[in-house]
Amino acid sequence: MENFSEEFRVKGEELVEKVKQLIHEGNVRRLIIKDEDGKVYLEIPVTFGVIGALIAPMLAAVGAVAAMVAHLKIEVVRSEDGSHPDKPENPKNPEQGSV
């Protein structure tokens, strides 16, 4: 599985909503929040379990960064195949009959 990255520029007040949106897309492996000069403020590994219990404290940290910086960049590292890296695949096997 190959990874690739892309970058988004957002205003501080848009940061939390953009992070929520990216997390729910499913093929995101890591989010890196930086200022315009490339200084990293927060690096978030996104695993399948993060969607549950850990999202609230993570979003609080993202909100704190957003309050400090007016313009930010989000580097998004994605898995190329579109699947979530920690979510088990469930391929349908046509040779298996239903019980």
Amino acid type, 46: V
Q: Establish if 95 belongs to a structural domain.
A: no
Residue range of the domain that includes 24: 3-79
97 in a domain, yes or no? no
- 92 within a domain of the structure (yes/no): no
Residue 87 lies in a domain: no
pLDDT of residue 7: 95
Question: How many domains would you assign to the chain?
Answer: 1
Question: Residue 89's pLDDT is what?
Answer: 42
pLDDT: is 75 or 45 the higher one? 75
The answer to whether 8 and 78 are in contact (CB under 8 A) is: no
Domain for residue 90, yes or no?
A: no
Residue 91 within a domain? no
Cα 21 from Cα 51, distance rounded (Å): 11
Q: Tens of pLDDT along 11-70?
A: 999 999 999 898 888 788 899 999 999 999 999 888 755 556 667 788 888 999 999 888
Kindly state whether residue 99 falls inside one of the protein's structural domains.
Answer: no
Domain CATH number, residue 43 = 3.30.1490
Q: Does residue 74 sit within a domain?
A: yes
